[in-house]
A = this chain, B = another copy of it.
Amino acid sequence: YRKGFPEAIFCPGKTTDQIVQIAKKLHEVSDQNVLATRAGREVYEAVCREIPSAEFNETSRTIVIRKGVQRSVGNILVVSAGTSDLPVAEEAAVTAEAMGNKVERMYDTGVAGLHRLLSQSERLQQAKVLIVVAGMDGVLPSVVGGLAASPVIAVPTSVGYGANFGGLAPLLTMLNSCSEGIGVVNIDNGFGAGYLASLINQAGI
């Protein structure tokens, strides 16, 4: 009863062998893309020996095995401030793409350099759903939410130091945001953000 998407594989805590077996089985029984998250290169190589069409994304540590028609509908915008949040931002983007959504990235912007962000406010207003990923710059979803009218999915990351406390600080920042239309997912949960964004993006379709 899931919306046209087979269960993804969350790799941590599984042996390479287990992952390969699950991937093969899902690829055979389903007519949908298969997605594995938090996968190392060695896991990818093992999967690849069995399913040569598997694709690896180094930054997000995801494996995608495509099947059937590849859609690219709607308009999801992934926003991120810093280089170190890219793995989580890309996990979100790859997940959303694997679920058949058109995804754009805006990775060159933060609140300290507010003018750069403001100069792109038109793009922020055109997206149908926004995913905002931030660890040190946890205020970003509030600012984006103040500029855009569409739903914003905020993803705190555990990147940072000191009073970041493993992502607790951006998590609380995002939950307390005064800008309306923001929903928060777990710290570092790019997969969950991409999945939720896909549901929303395809809601009216």
Q: Which residues of A come within 8 Å of B, CB atoms?
A: 1-3, 7, 12-14, 18, 81-84, 110-114, 118, 125, 128-129, 136-139, 142-143, 145-147, 149-151, 153, 156, 158-173, 175-189, 192, 195-196, 199-201, 203-205
The listed residue (B142, B156, B170) touching A111 by CB distance below 8 A is: B142
Given contacts A112-B145, A147-B114, A172-B169, contact A178 B136 (CB under 8 A): yes
When C-beta atoms are compared, the residue in chain B nearest to A136 turns out to be B178
Give the distance to chain B from A86, nearest Cβ to Cβ, in Å. Answer: 8
Judging by beta carbons under 8 Å apart, are B203 and A173 in contact?
no
Give the distance to chain B from A101, nearest Cβ to Cβ, in Å. Answer: 13
The complex places the Cα of A18 from the Cα of B189 at a distance, in Å, of: 25
* Number of identical protomers: 8
A203 neighbours in B (Cβ, 8 Å)? 128-129, 150-151, 200-201, 203-204
Judging by beta carbons under 8 Å apart, are B183 and A139 in contact?
no
The complex places the Cα of A78 from the Cα of B50 at a distance, in Å, of: 34
Judging by beta carbons under 8 Å apart, are B150 and A199 in contact?
yes
Judging by beta carbons under 8 Å apart, are A180 and B195 in contact?
yes
Q: List 19 A-B contacts (CB under 8 A).
A: A111-B142, A113-B146, A149-B199, A151-B199, A151-B200, A161-B188, A162-B167, A162-B188, A163-B171, A164-B176, A165-B168, A168-B172, A169-B175, A171-B175, A175-B187, A180-B192, A180-B195, A183-B184, A200-B200
The listed residue (B149, B188, B200) touching A2 by CB distance below 8 A is: B149
Judging by beta carbons under 8 Å apart, are A159 and B81 in contact?
no
Judging by beta carbons under 8 Å apart, are A178 and B111 in contact?
yes
The complex places the Cα of A184 from the Cα of B110 at a distance, in Å, of: 21
A111 neighbours in B (Cβ, 8 Å)? 139, 142-143, 146, 178-179
Judging by beta carbons under 8 Å apart, are B83 and A136 in contact?
no
Question: Which of A129, A171, A185, A195 is the most central at the interface, judged by chain B CB atoms within 10 Å of its CB?
Answer: A185
